[in-house]
Amino acid sequence: MAESGAAGRLVSTILKHSTPRSLPWMMTLVAIILGLPLFFEAALVMMVPIIFVMASRPVLRFRSSPS
């Protein structure tokens, strides 16, 4: 997923449609979608690239501007 760019595409879509408050819920939804049809170990292996790409992306739009 990481080498093909699929993880980056998923992260871009998640960040575009989420707020700081809803981001943990969006990641939970992705984990559930991946985990339902797969075994836990396989879903975890698929989530690792998404988590790494999410952690490496700057989330500057979530930071509040100084008052």
Residues 6-59 have pLDDT tens digits of 878 888 888 888 888 888 888 888 888 877 776 777 777 878 888 888 788 776
Decide if 63 contacts 21 (C-beta within 8 A): no
Residue 66 lies in a domain: no
| Structural domain contains residue 16 | yes
The answer to whether position 20 is within a domain reads yes
> How high is the pLDDT of residue 2?
63
Angle, CA 48 vertex, CA 32 and CA 42 arms, to 5°: 60
For residue 59, what pLDDT is reported? 61
> What's the total number of domains in the chain?
1
Q: Can you give the residue range of the structural domain that contains 15?
A: 6-55
Percentage of the residues of the chain whose pLDDT score is greater than 70? 81
SS3 38: coil
Burial of 20 (0-12, 13-18, 19+ CB in 10 A): exposed
Q: Is the residue at 11 inside a domain?
A: yes
